[in-house]
Structure 1
Amino acid sequence: MWKYNCEKRNKYYDEVIRLYTQEGLGRSKISRIIPVGETTISRWIRNFADEKQIQVVMKRKSSINPETPEAGIESGDVKALQAEIARLKKELAHESLRADAFNELINVAEKQFNISIRKKAGAKQ
């Protein structure tokens, strides 16, 4: 049944389950304490939940702090984000105008000097 890491499983499985269920530690903290990878720890926890027929919620890494509810975001944060969006939209409009100016510069140079600057479609034969 357990053909991978049998020695490690026999040695550390019970301790991993204890740290996860009783101490409430996450996979990464457990893997720092016990010399077993996070993926193996996750698999052991899933197997334990299947054996005991309980639902274990695996923690996922997230950039948002899970303790802060979304409804509790301060209005200052929202205003700062809206200001950032407005700044980025202005920057996008400026860069779009700049790209158009470069394209027109190339068009004028191609007409005036009668040379092709842009790459042609297709491979050379």
Structure 2
Amino acid sequence: MKQYNEIEKLELLRRYLTSGLSIRAFSASVGIPVSTFFGYLRAYGHPDTSSIPFLMKHEELPTTLDELRAQLLEERKAHEAELKRLKKELAQEKLRCLANSTMIDLAEKKFNIRIRKKSDAG
């Protein structure tokens, strides 16, 4: 019987997940004893594959290169819009922080009181 290294074991597990076969059918197709394949699953974790067919039916995956490009372009535009919105919010928060700091400085001067604590309070 062949000894598999870690990369080969992971490749076998990946092939099993994408094959859609039962564990017994897959191990027979690649010539590995079922007990050995179960050992690989125990060592590397047995993935829950029950939801894969459901997700594949309900997820609209692009079937052509043009559809994939269109989907990626749409996602890129959405990410760019989100980045623009977040930059705008950051700029507004910086202005608000500056306004609060200026207001505190003016209040300290006008009323001659210390609002901020001194940083060198040692």
Q: TM-score normalized by structure 1?
A: 0.43
Q: TM-score normalized by structure 2?
A: 0.44
Q: Normalized per residue, which structure has more helix?
A: 2
